Amino acid sequence: MLVKWIRCTVVDRRGFERGQRKWAGLLGEPGFRGQGGGWSRSRPSVAHVFAFWESRAFYDSFMARSHDRLAAAQAGTFKDAQVRLFDHRFDVKTGFEPRFTDSDLLRVALCRVHEERAEHFTLMQEKVWNPAMAGSPGMIRGLFAEAPGHEFMVLSMWRSEAEHGKYRTERVERLALRAQTEADIAALTGDIIELETTWTV
């Protein structure tokens, strides 16, 4: 599965949201699996959108045919768009599906990993972080994905801010020590996103 992550700064909120609803046109596209997103908790003008495709071939075909027509509705409503493509490596918890109807919060972490530590980082994700996240009551589902240049994305869906907060305070420092995260990671950025139900396709 291919995961597309779009992050942008919105300059016309109403226009952007109106345009976002036009993406419902994705539903008939071959290979399209789902799309959703929302607003950053820490920077209210930043929007995140995640789209899921069966494969790169389906995605490339869509980009060549229908993308520009759908995107036209949002022209001029945002700036500084950053687009990244990732290949799904494994699920966090079980059976990831690109559904956004049962969660309120998304957590995304982007990790750039030292080349010689990429294998270790992936293994720790599987053996240390995954079980811890999967065991957290408010965590619904998630995925671990990779992009060229030793970049990895961890995307998790949470029932609520309170549930996510509990996981963070109780576990994160201890887990990071066990997984030797500091030695693996060259750069780490992330965000907490409040889901907008009207953006879900």
Residue 89: predicted pLDDT: 96
The number of CA neighbours under 13 Å toward the Cβ of 84 is 21
Q: Which residues contact 13 (CB under 8 A, 6 or more apart)?
A: 45, 77
Measure Cα distances from 53 to 1, 5, 151 in Å: 6, 12, 19
Q: What percent of the chain has pLDDT over 70?
A: 100
What local confidence, expressed as pLDDT, does residue 162 receive? Answer: 85
Mean pLDDT for the chain? 94
Burial label for 44, CB within 10 Å (0-12, 13-18, 19+), is exposed
Question: Which residues, other chains included, contact 129 with Cβ-Cβ below 8 Å and sequence gap of 6+?
Answer: 92, 154, 175, 179
Distances in Å between the Cα of 121 and the Cα atoms of 40, 85, 112, 117, 129 are: 26, 19, 10, 6, 10
Predicted TM-score (pTM) of the model is 0.95
Residue 1: DSSP 8-state: -
On whether the CB atoms of residues 4 and 88 are closer than 8 A, the answer is no
Asked if 155 contacts 107 with a C-beta cutoff of 8 angstroms, the reply is yes
As a whole number, mean pLDDT of residues 26-42 equals: 96
| Residue range 38-65, pLDDT digits in tens | 999 999 999 999 999 999 999 999 999 9
Which residues sit opposite 139 in a β-bridge? 158
Distance, in Å, from the CA atom of 189 to the CA atom of 153, rounded to the nearest integer, reads 10
Confidence category of residue 137, pLDDT binned at 50, 70, 90:
confident
What was the pLDDT predicted at 168?
74
Gap between the Cα atoms of 124 and 92, Å rounded: 12
Pairing of strands 2-10, 46-53: antiparallel
φ and ψ at 37, to 5 degrees?
175, -165
Mean pLDDT confidence for 166-189: 88
Nearest to 26 by CA among 38, 18, 35: 35
Q: How confident is the model at residue 163 (pLDDT cuts 50, 70, 90)?
A: confident
What are the pLDDT digits (tens) for 76-92?
999 999 999 999 999 99
**Residue 94 pLDDT class (50, 70, 90 cuts):** confident
Count of Cβ atoms closer than 10 Å to residue 149 Cβ: 8
List domains and CATH numbers for the chain: 2-199 (3.30.70.100)
Mean of the pLDDT values across residues 107-135? 94
Query: In this predicted structure, what is the pLDDT of residue 172?
Result: 82
User: How sure is the predictor about 71, in pLDDT bands with cuts at 50, 70 and 90?
Assistant: very high
The β-bridge partners of 181 are: none
